Structure 1
Amino acid sequence: MTSTSLPGAATERGVMPAASVRGLSKTYGHGDTTVHALRSVDLDLAPGRFTAIMGPSGSGKSTLMHCLAGLDRPTEGTVSIAGTDITALDDDRLTHFRRDHLGFVFQAFNLLPMLTARQNIMLPFELAGRRLEPGATERIEQVIDVLGLRDRLDHRPGELSGGQQQRVAIARALAADADVVFADEPTGNLDSTASSEVLSYLRRSVIEMGHTVVMVTHELDAAAYADDVVVLADGRVRAHLETPSRDEIVHALEGGDR
């Protein structure tokens, strides 16, 4: 189904958006070298769903994710995560917010080679000096089982395949029960079989555990795993599609009407 979701649609349904931006703009450079990466973007992303952000090179999709995730500050506008305006936070508070509320999965798996899979999964807790809250151990064990890592926990990254390493990175992002997990081209370094495996596990984390996943991708096959697809062009939202077909995604990418 194609949705012409207007700003605030998630709120109108009585559900607070997992992430929300208003009037979001990002420019780089000055004068003749100015690049408008984002232009007054308004967007709500629903909780408990898998959203793919797509668009051609230079469309602003990575910039949008970086602003949503607090990795880059917008030139104008606001970004809210689970009701918190992160654009109002100073650098220290923003760093703590990212650590406590957001998860990240990137192309490069970013695992520490000297640590086992389990130690890599638990690393955010160690770095933050956080004790496991009641129920956290059970949740982490569920993440491990959902991602099929039970028999790989004592292996170091060098002993794991690329797909297994990416699953460990996903488990690390999910273990802390983040409000939103951001995945930036998470299958970019994987073959087609491993890519399908990783995307299936991301999908399961949404369906079985209620996580919110926002993924930047340029691959139609990857976007097919998502509930919703946001298509950007020239720094603007061209379409916000709800449970789209492959043909609807292609139509939006080619510049068709919403």
Structure 2
Amino acid sequence: MTTTSPPRTTLAAAARGLTKTYGRGDARVHALRGVDLDLPRGRFTAIMGPSGSGKSTLMHCLAGLEQADAGTITVGGTGLGTLDDDALTVFRREHIGFVFQAYNLLPMLTAEQNIVLPYELAGRRVEPAVTERARLLAETLGVADRLGHRPAELSGGQQQRVAIARALITEPDLLFADEPTGNLDSATSQEVLEQLRRSVDELGQTVVMVTHEPDAAAFADDVVTLADGRIA
């Protein structure tokens, strides 16, 4: 199953009236309470808030990893609510990239093989154009000289940069970064954040980062602050 390319708009994604609750009765938690949000294409947005504010839930809903109880989400012109489970899986693979606190690189593969892995998982051939893009991304992100190395031979910052390149290889409408510097020291964190910033400035990528760190959010164009499931 394949998805057709959605129309390009000035917004990478938009959410309207998102609500999400967990549990029942006295244990009921209102994670999102009617959230409206626009994510402009080609910008770096940070989502901030204390623990329990709903920032991770918002990211998971925007990425199609969780379903909101009410509201609508549009990514790249496609309404996520119009897709069945199979179509949503394909859409996520082709249009959404993820960078997590844990790098999730496969230890037996080289950096270059990890970067092109999304094509392998989709059962698609790694054409020369894909290899060329992988090398361009590696150069942009400062790991071009490490493409033949396996993850154990890379520093934490280099591993995270490889993970960013892997997330960008399919040219996604949105790149979600969930606390991407959580396992890194301050100097390496700054390097990774600078690379995310470069992916916006030099590659035109749209980045949405969940963070609780003001220093990290300072790299973003826009900062969205959540409190008790609402945009503060």
The answer to whether the superposition gives a TM-score over 0.5 is: yes
Of the three residues 204, 223, 230, the one matched with 1:229 is 223
Deviation string 1:184-223 (CA, Å, 9 cap, x unpaired) is: 0000000001100000001001000000000000001100
Q: How many positions carry a matched residue from both structures?
A: 225
Give the direction of change, closer, same or farther, for the CA distance of 1:118–1:135 in structure 2 (3 Å limit).
closer
TM-score by length of 1: 0.84
Maintained 8 Å contact 1:51/1:227:
yes
1:73 aligns with 2:58: no
1:123 aligns with 2:117: yes
Of the three residues 30, 35, 41, the one matched with 1:41 is 35
> For 1:132 and 1:205, how far apart are their aligned partners in 2?
22
The 3-state SS of whatever aligns with 1:48 is coil
Corresponding residue of 1:106: 100
Of the three residues 54, 63, 69, the one matched with 1:60 is 54
Show structure 2 runs of 5+ residues with no match. 1-7
* CA-CA distance at 1:33 after TM superposition: 1.3
Corresponding residue of 1:193: 187
1:20 aligns with 2:5: no
Alignment of 1:68-217 (within 5 A): 68-132=62-126, 135-217=129-211
Provide the aligned C-alpha RMSD in A.
Answer: 1.4
> For 1:49 and 1:138, how far apart are their aligned partners in 2?
25
> For 2:38 and 2:125, how far apart are their aligned partners in 1?
33
> For 1:214 and 1:54, how far apart are their aligned partners in 2?
11
The 3-state SS of whatever aligns with 1:209 is coil
Show structure 1 runs of 5+ residues with no match. 1-13, 239-258
The amino acid that maps onto 1:59 is S
Instruction: Identify the range of structure 1 (123-132 vs 184-193) with the bigger mean alpha-carbon deviation.
Output: 123-132
Maintained 8 Å contact 1:117/1:156:
yes
* CA-CA distance at 1:135 after TM superposition: 4.7
> For 1:165 and 1:137, how far apart are their aligned partners in 2?
19
The 3-state SS of whatever aligns with 2:177 is strand
TM-score by length of 2: 0.94
Percentage of matched positions with identical amino acids:
70
Deviation string 1:161-191 (CA, Å, 9 cap, x unpaired) is: 1101000100000111111000000000000
> For 1:15 and 1:87, how far apart are their aligned partners in 2?
18
> For 1:130 and 1:39, how far apart are their aligned partners in 2?
40
> For 2:126 and 2:175, how far apart are their aligned partners in 1?
20
Corresponding residue of 2:3: none
* CA-CA distance at 1:83 after TM superposition: 0.9
The amino acid that maps onto 1:61 is K
Give the direction of change, closer, same or farther, for the CA distance of 1:16–1:134 in structure 2 (3 Å limit).
farther
Maintained 8 Å contact 1:16/1:83:
no
The 3-state SS of whatever aligns with 1:57 is coil
> For 2:128 and 2:78, how far apart are their aligned partners in 1?
24
